[in-house]
């Protein structure tokens, strides 16, 4: 296989996001072009949704619905069949509205007589006011027609997605598509069976879109970027379609999921449709691979690359330095349909909506994490452990190039944790150039974020930050090596909030040695943070021990024992463990998420936190005014 004049197509497989392109292809395309390589990109994930959620897609879905006996149809499938003419008539205007191309239809959507309303609309009952009035008036007021309609149209799409899942493909979801086939799967067998099975309507549509993209661009190489487990199955289906029609095209797999889970790969069948798999940052491995395919480098000198040789998996890793962060070039969105993305509004909380509402230019302030000590994090992996920054002037140069290309000034900085010094330098440079943007990103709640710095960041365009409060327990935060305390988080988050910056807290439960008492105390801290206006949004996730984290590498230090892993030939990441506390964290998690959902909507903040739990729950040990006193001590 030889390529002397490469033309590279980078694709985003389903599913990632619908409101904005996942940035991996933009990064790689920008880098390759900076090195003189002919590179293009397409978002097949968005294309798949737009194809299925269209009048022809509705008709194809209905054919599957009609094949299901009436007695076996789920409520949404039965409702879809009954209301099919309305779904067929409204899908195009609903999509156009969510794309921002037909805002006037929002008035009809708000009238509640235009879109068919299936089971997903039952969630609106949670918002009915005491007078029996408009259930969304409290959130949007009398003038928020566009936001109100966007929320209703999002529920409408969720209903149709449920029909797809129940009647066409049980694996379909907007984000976690066929996730179970790839997440920490020790063997390739489940994925192999799925790929060998008869294609569903979703598979057939995906194959058609993939081959059309190949026919348009005529690439010599296709890069499939898989950031999440929910992108893996579709990526393999796409590679399968490409190889069946164009065996001469080189297919390369990479991305966040690969970098995390395929570090012990031994399964040759993975390469039936994939020619090469690269680990960690793709720039250096791709340059080496292009040299190899051009006959300028022996295969032995490939960089962090898997291939199948004589029926066996071989890993090649010639030791070469990565491309410095300052030299990776500017991401480009050229080739992506920026006017076709969907601004969804699935949750009314103003901070929480940023992840799905609006199109953001995604950019990185620095490679890796400057802290890289948290014991639950995969700090041993390159994307976290190798910290590499760039001058603020260069970052603002990239910002200005992206604005010139896209015409949009909103940025989401996708760092593991953006460094305070780098953000201050960035704010200084933006001020120096008198450049107006809006931005948000992830940080650590560390004391360097003083009220003065928060004000400066707000002036530079910062509208929101997210950061890890995790367990909201000083004992466990210390065990995590988080480097923050609860009272410090309270002061930092208040500084952001008082600067007009929204704050989202990542929260965790089920950490080793965490007791029921710890969990109740954590929720009380969180309640007080909401009550004092320190945070506006949050998300509780269950702790998962990974093989690349300090907990997974040194479990005895955290008081746990790891369960034995099965023989690994494919993917590995999560590892189960035995916690001597014996706490039922699943039951606690339901209570935590219910409480948090209500707190984000301003409900239940005066209640005793024990009201959210079932059974005999201990009283919190946290003083009722702990956070307010911590804030007063600062003044």
The domain ranges of the chain are: 7-45+179-326, 50-168, 360-634
Report the share of the chain in percent with pLDDT over 90. Answer: 86
Give the model's pLDDT for residue 51.
Answer: 98
Rounded Cα distance between 372 and 384, Å, is 7
Question: Average pLDDT for residues 463-467, to the nearest whole number?
Answer: 96
Residue 224 in contact with residue 22, Cβ under 8 Å? Answer: no
HSE toward the beta carbon, residue 438, CA cutoff 13 A: 11
Identify the three-state secondary structure at position 631. helix
Average pLDDT, the chain: 93
Query: What b-and-e string marks burial along 371-406, b requiring 16 or more CB atoms within 10 Å of the CB?
Result: bbebbbbbbebeebeeeebbebeebbebbeebbebb
Question: Average pLDDT for residues 312-321, to the nearest whole number?
Answer: 96
- Among 33-37, 220-224, 587-591, the range scoring the smallest mean pLDDT is 587-591
Q: With helix as H, strand as E and coil as C, how does 251-312 read?
A: EEEECHHHHHHCCCCCCHHHHHCCCEEECCCCHHHHHHHHHHHCCCCCHHHCCCEEEEECCE
The neighbouring-strand residues paired with 312 are 309
Give the model's pLDDT for residue 139.
Answer: 57
Rounded Cα distance between 428 and 463, Å, is 17
Question: Average pLDDT for residues 137-163, to the nearest whole number?
Answer: 84
User: Is this model's pTM higher than 0.85 or not?
Assistant: yes
Q: What share of the chain is helix, strand, coil (3-state, %, to 5)?
A: 45, 10, 40
Give the model's pLDDT for residue 176.
Answer: 74
| Residue 16: pLDDT band with limits 50, 70, 90 | confident
Give the model's pLDDT for residue 127.
Answer: 55
129 or 305, which is more confident? 305
Structure tokens at 454: 């928060």
Give the model's pLDDT for residue 260.
Answer: 95
pLDDT digits (tens, 9 = 90+) for 394-419: 999 999 999 999 999 999 999 999 99
Top CATH class of 360-634 equals alpha beta
Those residues whose C-beta lies under 8 Å from the C-beta of residue 290, and which sit 6 or more positions away, are 3, 6, 37
Residue 280 in contact with residue 382, Cβ under 8 Å? Answer: yes
Rounded Cα distance between 453 and 496, Å, is 9
Rounded Cα distance between 230 and 321, Å, is 31
| Residue 184: pLDDT band with limits 50, 70, 90 | confident
Rounded Cα distance between 561 and 566, Å, is 16
Identify the three-state secondary structure at position 215. helix
Give the model's pLDDT for residue 301.
Answer: 98
Give the model's pLDDT for residue 182.
Answer: 80
Give the model's pLDDT for residue 142.
Answer: 47
Of 128, 126, 102, which Cα lies nearest the Cα of 114? 102
Rounded Cα distance between 597 and 408, Å, is 32
| Check whether domain 7-45+179-326 has CATH 3.40.50.280, yes or no | yes
501 or 473, which is more confident? 501
pLDDT digits (tens, 9 = 90+) for 485-509: 999 999 999 999 999 999 999 999 9
- Among 22-31, 129-138, 348-357, the range scoring the smallest mean pLDDT is 129-138
Question: Average pLDDT for residues 63-78, to the nearest whole number?
Answer: 96
Question: Average pLDDT for residues 92-112, to the nearest whole number?
Answer: 96
- The angle at the Cα of 548, spanning 542 to 554, to the nearest 5 degrees, equals 90
pLDDT at 155 over 70: yes
Give the model's pLDDT for residue 558.
Answer: 92
Question: Average pLDDT for residues 506-523, to the nearest whole number?
Answer: 94
Those residues whose C-beta lies under 8 Å from the C-beta of residue 597, and which sit 6 or more positions away, are none
Give the model's pLDDT for residue 130.
Answer: 46
Rounded Cα distance between 269 and 290, Å, is 24
pLDDT digits (tens, 9 = 90+) for 270-293: 999 999 999 999 999 999 999 999
Beta strands in 36-148 (DSSP E): 38-43
Range ranked top by mean pLDDT from 143-147, 159-163, 485-489: 159-163
Which helix or strand (DSSP H or E) is residue 147 part of? helix 145-163
Q: At what angle do helices 75-82 and 55-66 cross, to 10 degrees?
A: 120
Of 15, 490, 3, which Cα lies nearest the Cα of 228? 15
Residue 51 in contact with residue 58, Cβ under 8 Å? Answer: no
Question: Average pLDDT for residues 441-459, to the nearest whole number?
Answer: 96
Q: At what angle do helices 392-406 and 420-433 cross, to 10 degrees?
A: 60
């Amino acid at each position: 296989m030889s390529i002397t004049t490469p033309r590279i197509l980078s694709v985003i497989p389903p599913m990632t996001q619908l409101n904005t392109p996942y940035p991996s292809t933009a990064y790689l395309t920008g880098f390759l072009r900076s090195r003189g390589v002919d590179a293009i990109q397409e978002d097949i994930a968005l294309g798949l949704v737009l194809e299925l959620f269209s009048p022809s897609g509705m008709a194809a879905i209905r054919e599957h619905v009609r094949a299901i006996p009436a007695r076996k149809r789920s409520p949404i499938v039965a409702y879809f069949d009954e209301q099919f003419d309305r779904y067929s008539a409204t899908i195009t205007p609903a999509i156009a509205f969510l794309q921002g191309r037909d805002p006037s239809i929002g008035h009809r959507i708000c009238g509640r007589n235009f879109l068919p309303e299936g089971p997903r609309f039952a969630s609106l009952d949670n918002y009915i006011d005491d007078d029996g009035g408009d259930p969304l008036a409290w959130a949007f007021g009398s003038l928020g027609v566009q936001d109100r309609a966007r929320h209703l149209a999002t529920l409408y799409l969720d209903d149709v997605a449920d029909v797809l899942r129940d009647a066409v493909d049980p694996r379909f979801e907007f984000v976690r598509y066929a996730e179970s086939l790839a997440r920490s799967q020790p063997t390739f067998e489940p994925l192999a069976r799925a790929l060998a099975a008869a294609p569903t309507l979703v598979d057939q549509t995906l194959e058609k879109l993939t081959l059309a993209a190949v026919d348009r661009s005529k690439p010599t190489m296709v890069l499939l970027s898989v950031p999440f487990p929910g992108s893996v199955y579709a990526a393999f289906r796409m590679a399968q379609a490409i190889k069946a029609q164009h065996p001469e095209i080189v297919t390369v797999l990479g991305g966040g999921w690969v970098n995390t889970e395929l570090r012990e790969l031994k399964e040759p069948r993975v390469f039936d449709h994939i020619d090469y798999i690269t680990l960690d940052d793709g720039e250096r491995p791709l340059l080496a691979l292009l040299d190899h395919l051009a006959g300028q480098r022996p295969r032995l000198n490939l960089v962090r690359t898997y291939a199948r040789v004589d029926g066996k998996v071989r890993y090649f890793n010639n030791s070469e330095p990565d491309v410095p962060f300052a030299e990776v070039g500017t991401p480009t969105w050229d080739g992506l349909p920026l006017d076709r993305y969907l601004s969804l509004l699935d949750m009314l909380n103003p901070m929480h909506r940023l992840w799905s509402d609006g199109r953001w230019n995604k950019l990185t302030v620095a490679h890796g994490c400057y802290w890289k000590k948290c014991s639950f994090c995969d700090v041993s992996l390159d994307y976290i452990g190798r910290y590499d920054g760039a001058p603020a002037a260069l970052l603002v140069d990239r910002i200005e190039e992206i604005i010139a290309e896209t015409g949009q000034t909103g940025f989401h900085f996708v760092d593991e944790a953006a460094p305070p010094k780098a953000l201050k330098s960035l704010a200084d440079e933006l001020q120096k150039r008198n450049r107006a943007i809006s931005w948000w990103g992830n940080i650590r709640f560390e004391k360097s974020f003083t009220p003065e710095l928060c004000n400066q960041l707000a002036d530079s365009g910062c509208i929101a930050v997210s950061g890890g409060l995790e367990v909201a327990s000083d004992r466990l935060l210390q065990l995590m090596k988080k480097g923050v305390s609860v009272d410090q988080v309270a002061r930092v988050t208040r500084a952001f909030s008082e600067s007009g910056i929204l704050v989202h807290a990542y929260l965790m439960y089920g950490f080793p040695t965490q007791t029921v008492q710890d969990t109740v105390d954590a929720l009380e801290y969180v309640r007080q943070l909401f009550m004092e206006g320190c945070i506006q949004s949050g998300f509780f996730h269950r702790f998962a021990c990974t093989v690349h984290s300090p907990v997974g590498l040194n479990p005895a230090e955290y008081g746990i024992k790891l369960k034995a892993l099965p023989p690994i030939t494919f993917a590995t990441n999560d590892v189960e463990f035995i916690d001597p506390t014996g706490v039922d964290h699943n039951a606690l998690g339901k209570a935590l998420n219910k409480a948090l959902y209500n707190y984000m909507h301003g409900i239940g903040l005066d209640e005793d936190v024990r009201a959210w739990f079932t059974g005999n729950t201990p009283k919190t040990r946290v003083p009722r005014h702990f956070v307010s006193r911590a804030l007063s001590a600062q003044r």
